[in-house]
Amino acid sequence: MINVFLYYDFSPFFKDESGVFNGNEICYSELNPEHFLIFEKNNKNYNLYISKYNSKKEVGKNKPVILETVIEKYDKSIPDHRVAIRRYFE
């Protein structure tokens, strides 16, 4: 997974303080000033979300304006999972 995080320029993981991700660690990649892809680390699984915040400073601190699950239990060996993340960066 480290290759995925590096390739798509995700932030380092940090503890969610907003309560949205149940205090799990998250990382994010900025698509534009308001939209972010977020990986939630839940035990050994990674869940991928698309979100909207008013600013980057709010990620992990406040509840998002919009949050949608893209993939639960992301697995980079599954082609559909790779395509799902890639489409946001095209």
Nearest alpha carbon to residue 82 among 3, 11, 25 = 3
Helix (H, G, I), strand (E, B) or coil at 56: helix
pLDDT band of 15, cuts 50, 70, 90? very high
What pLDDT was estimated at residue 74? 97
Residue 73's alpha-carbon distances to 2, 45, 46, 62, 64, in angstroms, are: 15, 5, 5, 24, 21
Nearest to 46 by CA among 65, 18, 21, 80: 21
Helix (H) or strand (E) holding 5: helix 2-7
pTM: 0.94
Report pLDDT digits (tens) over 17-38. 999 999 999 999 999 999 999 9
Strand partners, 50: 37, 68
Mean local confidence (pLDDT), 60-86: 96
Q: What is the mean pLDDT of residues 51-71?
A: 97
